[in-house]
Amino acid sequence: MPIETLRKTAAPYVPQKGEQYMSLRQRTHFRTMLESLRDELSADIERTVHTMQDEATIFADPNDRATQESDIALELRNRDRERKLIKKINETIQKIDVDEYGYCDSCGAEIGLERLTARPTASLCIDCKTLDEMRERQVAK
């Protein structure tokens, strides 16, 4: 389940009036959100492994075999991305545990509840992320 799907299923955080940024209530909300996503991803990976084992067929026709190998390669690439996302989720949960969640790794500013709701694993504020992407584009040229 990609983060985009999580956005559709997870309720956005609504802060209480006067609530301090990254209060216990907010950290609990984001922890629950991240753990739910991690559990869904883990279940998807497990299902894929079982499905691939159950559907393993040896085709005599080279075209059928090539199609099956292509499908398997695509599925494995997707699962690899999900494994990397699970790793990032675990790192983010560790940040929650040590009260470092919600603050930019680069400048220390608040990332913001809206950004964290959209991308709960975000580690940069929008300004630093924009600068980072601009640098990446310049290097890629």
Residue-range domain boundaries for the chain: 3-140
Do 4 and 111 contact (CB within 8 A), yes or no? no
Do 104 and 125 contact (CB within 8 A), yes or no? yes
Supply the pTM of this predicted model.
0.80
Burial of 48-83, coded b for 16+ CB within 10 Å and e otherwise, reads beeeeeeeeeeeeeeeeeeeeeeeeeeeeeebeebe
Each of the 141 residues of the chain gets a pLDDT tens digit; together they read 455 555 455 678 888 888 999 999 999 999 999 999 999 999 988 888 777 766 666 777 888 778 888 888 898 899 899 999 999 999 999 999 999 999 999 999 999 999 999 999 999 999 999 999 999 999 887
Check residue 51 and give its pLDDT: 76
- Tell me the C-alpha distance between 74 and 20, whole Å: 44
Superfamily of chain region 3-140? DksA, coiled-coil domain (1.20.120.910)
Could you say which DSSP state residue 61 is in?
S
Check residue 50 and give its pLDDT: 75
